[in-house]
Amino acid sequence: EYLGGRDHTTIMHGIDKISTELRTNEQLKSTIETLKKKISP
């Protein structure tokens, strides 16, 4: 229920997709790094 009616494999697929994209997409990498800095002091 916490995953919007989806199971853990949906989350695993998303993680794999983002990990792959991070290897080739510098803009995404930069955006995620910025978000990480804002979340954790």
Every domain of the chain and the residues it spans: 8-39
**Mean pLDDT in residue range 16-40:** 95
d(CA 14, CA 20): 10
Model confidence at 9: pLDDT above 80: yes
What stretch of H or E contains 11? helix 8-24
Please, which residues have CB within 8 angstroms of residue 32's CB and are 6 or more apart in sequence? 22
Using 50, 70 and 90 to split pLDDT, how confident is the model at 2?
low
Q: Is the dihedral of CA 24, 26, 30, 35 positive or negative?
A: negative
Model confidence at 10: pLDDT above 90: no
- pLDDT value at residue 5: 73
DSSP state of 4: T
Using 50, 70 and 90 to split pLDDT, how confident is the model at 1?
low
